[in-house]
């Protein structure tokens, strides 16, 4: 059964004693960023931020993947192993892509996430460890989901965690997305054509 808003809220309330990780991305003034938040029962939160750059260099899908990558890094660096860890995002497409590409990932960011998942499972094998990747409803009154939304906005505005604390692949600027460049060029061409047509004699 597909997840829905009600089941998402119910899962969040019932999982208070697990290690939970929330991820999100944001776009502000054509700038994009992602963040991840790790929560533990009775402990302080751990948060990572990553500012990418202009929206015309990266698409939303890739920014969502960066958020998941930050979340996996928080889990990997968590010293206290628990039986169950859940990582949540409000983007079902990102979750679906990771699940579909488990065997042969096509995108380099997806490959990095899957590598982290497999490494984590090997490290904690035999400890009854389970990692769940779940969809979390956005703007549904889930406190930590609202908090990660705020942190993602900070990342979009330019906030980034010290590179030494980030996954190795995020310690430098990511490769520019060819798809985002094409979409940006197409948008620019259409806007230029509309302006030219509006000012042309035939357009008038």
26 Cβ contact list (under 8 Å, min separation 6): 32, 33, 34, 35, 149, 152, 153, 155, 156
pLDDT in tens, 27-49: 898 899 999 999 887 778 899 99
Confidence check: pLDDT of 134 > 50? yes
Q: Are 167 and 112 in contact (CB under 8 A)?
A: yes
Domain 5-172 in CATH 3.40.30.10: no
The whole-number pLDDT of residue 1 equals 40
Taking all residues of the chain, what is their mean pLDDT, rounded to a whole number? 78
Three-state secondary structure call for residue 158: coil
The whole-number pLDDT of residue 19 equals 81
């Amino acid at each position: 059964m597909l997840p829905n808003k009600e089941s998402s809220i119910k899962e969040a309330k019932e999982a208070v004693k697990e290690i939970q990780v929330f991820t999100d991305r944001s776009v502000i003034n054509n700038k994009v960023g992602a963040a991840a938040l790790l929560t533990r029962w009775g402990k302080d939160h751990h948060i990572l931020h990553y500012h990418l750059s202009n929206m015309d260099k990266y698409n939303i899908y890739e920014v969502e993947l960066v958020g998941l990558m930050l979340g996996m890094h928080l889990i990997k660096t968590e010293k206290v192993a628990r039986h169950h860890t859940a990582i949540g995002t409000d983007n079902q497409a990102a979750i679906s892509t990771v699940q579909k590409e488990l065997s042969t990932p096509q995108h380099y960011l997806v490959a990095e996430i899957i590598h982290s998942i497999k490494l984590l499972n090997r490290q904690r094998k035999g400890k009854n460890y389970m990692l769940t990747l779940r969809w979390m409803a956005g703007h549904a009154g889930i406190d930590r989901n609202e908090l990660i939304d705020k942190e993602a906005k900070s990342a979009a505005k330019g906030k980034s965690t010290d590179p030494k604390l980030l996954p190795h692949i995020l310690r430098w600027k990511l490769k520019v997305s060819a798809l985002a460049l094409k979409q940006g060029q197409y948008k620019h061409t259409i806007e230029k054509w509309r302006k030219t047509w509006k000012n042309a004699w035939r357009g008038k």
